[in-house]
Each structure stands twice: as C-alpha cells, then as structure tokens.
Amino acid sequence: MKKEKIELIKDGKRLDGRGFEELREIKIEIDVLKRADGSCYFELGNNKALAAVYGPREIHPRHLQNEKTAVVVYNYNMAPFSATDRKRPGPDRRSVEISKASRCALDPVILKEYYPKTTINVYVELLQSDAGTRTAAINAASIALAAAGIPMRDLVSSIAVGKIDGEVVLDLNAVEDNHGEADMPVAMIARTNTITMLQMDGRFTKDEFEVGMKLAEKACHEIYELQRAALIAKYSESVNANVNVNVNTGRGEE
Ligand code: CDP
C-alpha cells in the first residue's frame, strides 16, 4: 500500500522540534523489579521499555543445556496497549525476529562460558512504543544484565538512524518511521566501535549509509556514557547504603 506523503522537515527542524542529529530524551532507572536478578526501565522519548534478567539458572528441559556455555534467551514483547492500534497479544513474526536479532546483538559481550549448562533469560516488555523500540529494549537489557551481575566484556548500546525527506537523521520517531524513506537500527560496543547488530528497512546510497553510521556511532557513545553513569550511580548508592548500615550496626553494639 502506498504511504501518504507528509512533510517531515519544516524550516530545518523535524516535526518534534529536533535537529537532524538529535537524540530523544533518555531516562534510566535500575533495579525496578524485586523478583528479577537485574532490571532496568529505559525511556527513549515516548518509548518505554522494561527489561528483567533472570539467571544464570538451571535450564529445563535438560536437553536444551549446552555443556560448555550458558544459553541466553531473549524475549521482546510489545504490550497490547503499547501502540496506537491495539496490538494482538503474544508472539508474532516481528517479535520473534527482533528477539533473535537482539540476542545476537548482546551475545558477544556476555561471558557465557562462565556458566555452562545454565540459562540466562532476558525479558523486555514495551509498555509504550514510538519507533526504535528494539534499540530501547537492547539498551535496557544491557543495563539489566550488568545489574544482574552477569559477567560481561562491556555494555551494548543501540540506536536507529534513517532518512526522512531526503535527509539522514538520528533516532526516528513513529511518524518519521512510517513516512520516511529508510530506517536502520544499529547496536554497538561503543568503546571498541564494534557493530553487533545492523538492520535496514528502505534504501540508503553508500554515502548516506556512511553518514548514518557516523551518526549512530556518535549516539551510541552518548548512550554508553548514560548507561555507565546510571550503573555507577546505582552501584555507589548501594555501597553508601551498606556503609550506613554497617555504621549503624556498629553504634548499636557499643
Ligand atoms: O520499534 P522498532 O522501530 O524497533 O520496530 P518497527 O517494526 O520499525 O516498528 C516501528 C513502530 O511501529 C513501533 O515502535 C510501533 O510504534 C509501531 N508498531 C505498531 O504500532 N504495531 C506493531 N504491531 C508494530 C509496530
């Protein structure tokens, strides 16, 4: 079906007021779920992603065990109320494909060889969606894995770039995704500039692809710093809390 043509850039700005190279606002909260080993709530503009990590734990049924490494299982799910039109509950082709690509994006940083015969389950629920949900989900999952204490080589950071009205732009929202010419989600280990996921819907020229990759790389570095800062803030908060507990206990014994 032919898409309706709408003007996505006016006076050099996008419809939501952003410049071409501007990220949407990001909010991060760690350990928001009590039962999970690690969890993270991640907002990217109007996308709201909640990631929960369980494991390493025994794998059932046993024939799914790997003698040498842990098996990582990634579940991406859009809640029925997350989209403008109610989304049919349960897995579909899109969520199965996104789950597989996202697992592969995170796989290279997880030290799976430390936990043979176990499973590490990563669940990401999208509570609200506005394009770029798989990237928000990967960012959330990466932090939740670290918060769960899963040994990792590094964090993975993710963002999409795309083309609207002939311009290469960063971090498309849903209107831009629906009416634009291309959308390219990328995941990276920012510190080493290693690409762990690259998908593309639509068309870029080679030059546009290169401009897009540069934008994605810069944004992944920014996201990495935010992920790291959130983990450090959380970790120092717990260390300080433990210090207070120890101090209080000590005084009580005097
Ligand atoms: O969200 P992401 O960009 O990673 O994936 P997409 O397949 O390109 O979907 C773009 C957007 O379309 C989603 O973020 C949702 O806002 C919307 N969508 C929807 O409303 N219902 C679906 N079943 C799938 C996508």
Say how many Å lie between the first and final Cα of the chain, rounded: 77
Contact between residue 248 and residue 240 where contact means Cβ atoms under 8 Å apart: no
Q: Is the dihedral of CA 213, 219, 225, 226 positive or negative?
A: negative
Q: Indicate whether 37 belongs to any domain.
A: yes
**Cβ(171) to ligand 1 under 6 A?**
no
Q: What is the pLDDT of residue 243?
A: 55
Q: Is residue 2 part of a domain?
A: no
Q: Look up the domain containing 186 and give its range.
A: 18-239
Per DSSP, what are the bridge partners of residue 38? 53
CA distance 237 to 128: 29
- Look at residue 116 and tell me if it is in a domain: yes
Q: Is the CB of 39 under 6 A from ligand 1?
A: no
Residue 246: inside a domain, yes or no?
no
Count of domains for the chain? 1
Predicted pLDDT of residue 61? 87
> Ligand 1 pocket test: which of 46, 82, 97, 129 has the largest number of ligand atoms within 8 Å of its C-beta?
129
Both tokens assigned to 166? 């002939």
Rounded-to-integer distance, Cα 94 and Cα 253, Å: 59
How far away, in angstroms, is 150 Cα from ligand 1 center? 29
Give the dihedral sign, CA 176/178/183/189: positive
Please classify residue 226 by burial: count the beta carbons closer than 10 Å to its beta carbon, then call 0-12 exposed, 13-18 middle and 19+ buried. middle
- The pLDDT assigned to 253 comes to 37
Question: Would you say the CB of residue 134 lies under 6 angstroms from ligand 1?
Answer: yes
Which pLDDT value is given to residue 3? Answer: 63
Other beta carbons within 10 Å of 135: 28
5 located within any domain: no
Among 48, 177, 184, 197, the mutation site with the greatest number of ligand 1 atoms within 8 A of its Cβ is: 177
Evaluate whether residue 134 is within a structural domain. Answer: yes
Report the CATH number that the domain containing residue 168 is assigned in CATH: 3.30.230.70
Query: Tokens 């014994």 — which residue?
Result: 253
Q: How far is the CA of 27 from the centre of ligand 1 (A)?
A: 20
Q: Which atom of ligand 1 is nearest to the CA of 85?
A: 20
Across the chain, which has 254 residues, the per-10-residue mean pLDDT values are: 78 97 98 98 98 94 93 97 86 96 98 97 98 98 98 98 98 97 98 97 97 98 98 83 47 36
**Ligand 1 centroid from CA 131, angstroms:** 5
Residue 192 lies in a domain: yes
**Partners of 124 in the beta sheet?**
51, 76
Residue 206 burial by Cβ neighbours in a 10 Å radius (0-12, 13-18, 19+): exposed
Residue 119 vs residues 55, 59, 73, 92: alpha-carbon distances, Å = 6, 5, 7, 23
What are the backbone dihedrals phi and psi of residue 26, each rounded to the nearest 5 degrees, phi first? -115, 135
3-state SS class at 18: coil
247 belongs to a structural domain: no
Please state the pTM of the whole predicted model: 0.93
Query: Is the CB of 127 inside a 6 Å radius of any atom of ligand 1?
Result: no
Name which residue sits closest to atom 12 of ligand 1, judged by CA: 131
Give, using CA atoms, the residue closest to atom 18 of ligand 1.
Answer: 83
